[in-house]
Amino acid sequence: MVDGREFVSEIVGKMVYRDDRVLGRIEDIAIDTSTGLIKYLILSASLDISDMVDDRGRAVVPVKRMHLDQEYVTIL
């Protein structure tokens, strides 16, 4: 689980998977300014993930749903 102690440079650019399918690559992160912790990840989506689009049309995944491995991220 991503817990906010990761470096941005270690997370941005990683591939994101759900159910053994590539959803996209992490483009950016959103940080909760009151706590300094990562709130969610912003993806460059490879597939239609309309269930994960925010009000600005960005593909986002809450950190609570993520598991970070050495090479990639999995959505739980």
Distance CA 8, CA 38 (A): 9
Transcribe 49-70 into DSSP letters.
-GGGB-TTS-EEEEGGGEEE-S
Which pLDDT score is estimated for 34?
A: 94
Please state whether 36 falls in left (phi above 0), alpha (psi between -120 and 50) or beta. left
What percent of the chain shows pLDDT beyond 90? Answer: 4
Q: Band of the pLDDT at 54, cuts 50, 70, 90?
A: confident
Going from the N-terminus, what domains does the chain have, and what CATH number goes with each? 8-75 (2.30.30.240)
Q: What average pLDDT does the segment 12-28 reach?
A: 88
Is there a contact between 6 and 68 (Cβ–Cβ < 8 Å)? Answer: yes
Structure tokens at 14: 């990683």
Mean pLDDT of 53-57: 77
Task: Using alpha carbons, select from 46, 41, 44 the residue that is nearest to residue 31.
Answer: 41
